[in-house]
Each structure stands twice: as C-alpha cells, then as structure tokens.
Structure 1
Amino acid sequence: MQKLTALISSLVLAPALLIATPALAALDWDTALNGKQRSEKNAARDGFRHPRETLEFFGIQEGMTVVELSPGGGWYTEVLAPLLKEKGSYYAAHNSPNGGAYSRRSLGSYLKKLGEDNDTYGNVTVTTLGPADSVVIAPAGTADMVLAFRNVHSWMRGDTLANTLLVAYDALKEGGVFGVVQHRAKDGRDPERMKATGYVSEDYIIAAARSVGFVLDARSEVNANPKDSGDYEDGVWELPPSLRTADENKEARMAVGESDRMTLKFVKPAS
C-alpha cells in the first residue's frame, strides 16, 4: 500500500516539477542569418558553411561567452555578434596591429566593419591573437566556447599552432568547448603539403589538440563535401569562393563547390 501511495504521489507531482524547470531560451537565428548585418556575398555561402547547424553541433546557447579565433573579414562575426548581443559575450581574437602589412590590412578592414554598424557590433570585444606566449584572447577560464574556422593551416605556416591551442585552452572554462572547422586532407598527408594547400588531416589536428590537454568529444559531417578531391596543385584556393584557378578549370571547380571540411568538437576536461 505504501509503494502504491508513493507511485501515485510521484505521478501527481511530476507535471509540476516539469513546469517549474525553465526551458533554454531560444537564440534569435532569424536575425543572425537574415538580418541587415549579413552581406549578400556572405549569406550566399551558407549552403556550404551551414552556420546554424555547425554552431548547434558545438552547443551554442544564449548567455555564453564565445571566442572566435582569427575572424578574418568577419564572416562568422555577422552570425555570432547578433546571437550573443543581448545575453552573452563575443570576443574576436584578431591579428596584431604590429604583425606586418597583411595583418594590419586585415585587422583594419575588420575594425571598419564593426565601426560601420555599432548597433550590431557595439558589444564585440576585439582582442589580439599573436605569436607571443603572453597573448590573452579572453580572461583565463571564462569562455564557454572557442571557435576556429578554416585557420589551422595558417597557424601551421606561422609556426603558431601550438601556442594558439594553448591560449584557447587557457581561455576556456573546465568543460568548455573548442570547435574546429578545417579543410580536410586524407590522414597521413605531409605537414608541409598541408601548409601549402590549406588541407589538414584530422589525425594531425586531433593529435595537436590532445597534446595541450583537449579531449575529442564528437565529430560531425555537417560541412563535408564528397565532391572535393582535395588534390589541387594550388590547394583549396582553386575552389570557391577564391577560384584562383585557370580559366579552363573554373566551371569544374564551381561544380565542386567549397572544400570538404572536418567539424571537430573538443572539450577542456575538469582538472
């Protein structure tokens, strides 16, 4: 009789408990993907880059502190800034103003973009991702998520990959996510060829991330493209959107679309 009474009580109380548990707030994906801040050129890449599916795979939620490494011209900034504008924090760890002519041009263009739309980007915090060991992309242990989109080959070229992974690790909270999207080479490719082509193998990135303490949590094929052979003489830049290829190859490269990409989710474990 006591067991029956306990069971009835649990069934009666369960709905009340469910009602008392707040649901996660919905992110404003409509503004992030279709708002005035999106350039037509950038929005046209959504079919290849799948920003919503990618960020949801990494686990983005309202109120998070998110760091993007090397945001370049701000393709993902157009999506992340409005998602985190009202509740959350977005750090853009860009080039050093003392990193040379290319670094200054890239950073200058990015700052100009932010300055021209303060309503969208007024809360973006720009930090520096540089080669020095002392660089801080966000206060230590505060980030819920650090993201890297198609940049690993550049860090390999500059011999800054290890340091970049370390500063990402330091910025994250325990349990925080390090999300990587990168042009994908077949496992075992020579690192020098990776630098030259932009295609990096999964085994190389996983080993590098593990070497600083990250744990591989999950993989996704959301950004995969089986049409991409990845064996172009001049690398990924022969494909859209760069299309740095001979005129006779352009139609074929357009048919391939953007590169085949790995999407890896790492976690900073509890100490």
Structure 2
Amino acid sequence: MKYVLALLLAVALAPAQAALDWETALNGDQRSAENKARDSSRHPRQTLEFFGIEEGMTVVELSPGGGWYTEVLAPLVAPNGQLYAAHFGMNLSSNAYFRNALGGFLQKLASNNDLYGPVKVTQLAPPDEVTVAPAGSADLIVAFRNIHSWMRMGSLDATLAAAFTALKPGGVLGIVQHRAPSGDDPAEMARSGYVTEAYVIAAAEKAGFKLDARSEINANPRDTADHANGVWSLPPALRGGDEDRARFEAIGESDRMTLRFVKPA
C-alpha cells in the first residue's frame, strides 16, 4: 500500500508536459491570411499530431521551400526543442530557382528573429550535402509534397537515407505527398507530381524505415489526378490559366497520402 501511495504521489507531483502553442502556430502574425486560408486543405494541426509532434522534440523539415510549414513548426518547436530546416545547398546557387528559393527562405527567417532565430538551416543537396541534422538526433522528420521533386532530381534514395541517419532509433518520418491512384512509371510520377503510395512505401522501406500508419487527413476524393498539367493544374498553381479554371477550383487542392514511418529501434 505504501508503494502504491508513493507512486500516486509521484505521478501527481510530476511536472505536466507543456502544451504546444497551437494558437500562435496557426493564428500568429507570422502567417498571412493567404497561408491561413490553406489550412482547410493542408490540415497542419491534424497532420502534425498524426506524426506525433510533442513539446521539446528535435524536428527536421526537409526541403521547406518558401516556409509555409516552417511558420507553423517554429512556434511549436522553438521554446524547448530544436527545428532544423534542410534547404537547398549553397553549392547549388548557380541554379536560379534554387538560389531564389533559398534566398527567399533566409529572408523570411531574418524577418522575425524572435520566432525564427533558433531555427538551424542545414543543406540538403545529395550526394555531397546530406547532413540534415546530427546523426541520431531527430525525433521527427517531416516532408511535405517533395517526393516527386526528389525523384526528378534523382535524389530520393539519398534524401531518405539522410533522414534515416538523422533520426533517433524509434524516430518518425512523416510524409505528405500528392497521390496517384495507380501507375508504375516513375518518370510520369515525377512529371505529374502524383506518386503512388506503393512507390513511396517501397522507397522508404528500402532506406530502412517501417510503415507505421496511414491517414486520410489530406485526402481529396474529388481529385482524379489525371490533369494535363499534373498537380499544378489545381489550386494554388492553376497553371492552365482560365482554361477549366472553375472546374479545378471546384476540385480544390490535390488528393494526398499521409504516411508515418518509423526508424526501427
């Protein structure tokens, strides 16, 4: 009985885990009205909770682009954790797209040092630059709609290997990707942006990951994934201009798989 009472007292006196600051993450001034409007399609809170984000974690965002998810992640991770943003490598600066994307991202971070000051920018440019975070340091690594780009650049295997190295045993790799309902042609997947779940799972398992769970959080059954301009036919890109614009706007953003993998302990 004394042991039980002591255990109950210890639990009662243990400090409660700090709550994640979802209010700032989703509604803070760092986010534009345009970005907030996309929450209904991207479901950032539900997605990150599915991946298992917790206070105090070390989190790596792979290929963060313009920083849409960085705006959400920084308030969640910065207080007691560490956020790494693995962006394009400096050695790719000869490519105008890479240079402009990295420059814009760094400007975003510099615009709000209180929020983004703790974010550590690393370089992801296989095969030379693949240390996205110190080996075995990350609790969670996330990748949002990047698989097709890595396929196009021939860097998917190296990128997944880099994530595997950076994760702790038992750590999580969370992937959101435009979903093709069928198909086995990697070149077409890279062109269209739509990739099959089977292809993503096989690539992750090849790197050593184990599929832990799937979610339909980011599913869109209206998307047939067979558009002339691929995923960029849909909002927000609407690459076809006024042609079929109303139809594509009615579809909304793409159908997406949401997969959680673990690095075996």
Deviations along 1:91-123, whole A, 9 cap, x unmatched?
000011221211101000101111111111111
User: Are positions 1:91 and 2:87 aligned together?
Assistant: no
Q: 2:220 maps to which residue?
A: 225
- Answer whether contact 1:63 1:84 (CA < 8 A) is retained: yes
Q: 1:123 aligns with which of 100, 115, 118?
A: 118
Mark the CA change 1:134 to 1:93 in structure 2 (over 3 Å): closer, same or farther.
closer
Deviations along 1:186-240, whole A, 9 cap, x unmatched?
2433111101100000000000000010000000110001111111011000000
CA distance in 2, matches of 1:12, 1:124: 43
- Answer whether contact 2:46 2:217 (CA < 8 A) is retained: yes
CA distance in 2, matches of 1:184, 1:10: 53
After TM superposition, list the pairs within 5 Å mapping 1:141-160 onto structure 2. 141-160=136-155
Unmatched segments (≥5 aa) in structure 1: 1-5
Q: Look up the equivalent residue of 1:129 and give its one-letter code.
A: L
Deviations along 1:56-112, whole A, 9 cap, x unmatched?
000000100000000000000100011112110000000112212111010001011
Q: Look up the equivalent residue of 1:106 and give its one-letter code.
A: A
User: Are positions 1:190 and 2:185 aligned together?
Assistant: yes
Describe the SS at the equivalent of 2:200.
Answer: helix
Q: 1:69 maps to which residue?
A: 62
Q: 1:42 aligns with which of 22, 31, 35?
A: 35
Alignment TM-score, normalising by the size of structure 2: 0.95
Q: RMSD of aligned C-alpha atoms? A: 1.5
CA distance in 2, matches of 1:187, 1:64: 36
Describe the SS at the equivalent of 1:146.
Answer: strand
Alignment TM-score, normalising by the size of structure 1: 0.93
Q: 1:31 maps to which residue?
A: 24
CA distance in 1, matches of 2:167, 2:223: 33
Q: 1:241 aligns with which of 233, 236, 243?
A: 236
Q: 1:80 maps to which residue?
A: 73
Q: 2:50 aligns with which of 32, 46, 57?
A: 57
Describe the SS at the equivalent of 1:259.
Answer: coil
Describe the SS at the equivalent of 1:245.
Answer: coil
The structure 1 segments of at least 4 consecutive aligned residues displaced by more than 2 Å after TM superposition are 9-18, 20-24
Aligned residues with identical type, % of pairs: 60
Unmatched segments (≥5 aa) in structure 2: none
Larger radius of gyration: 1
Q: 2:249 maps to which residue?
A: 254
Give the CA deviation at 1:131. Answer: 1.6
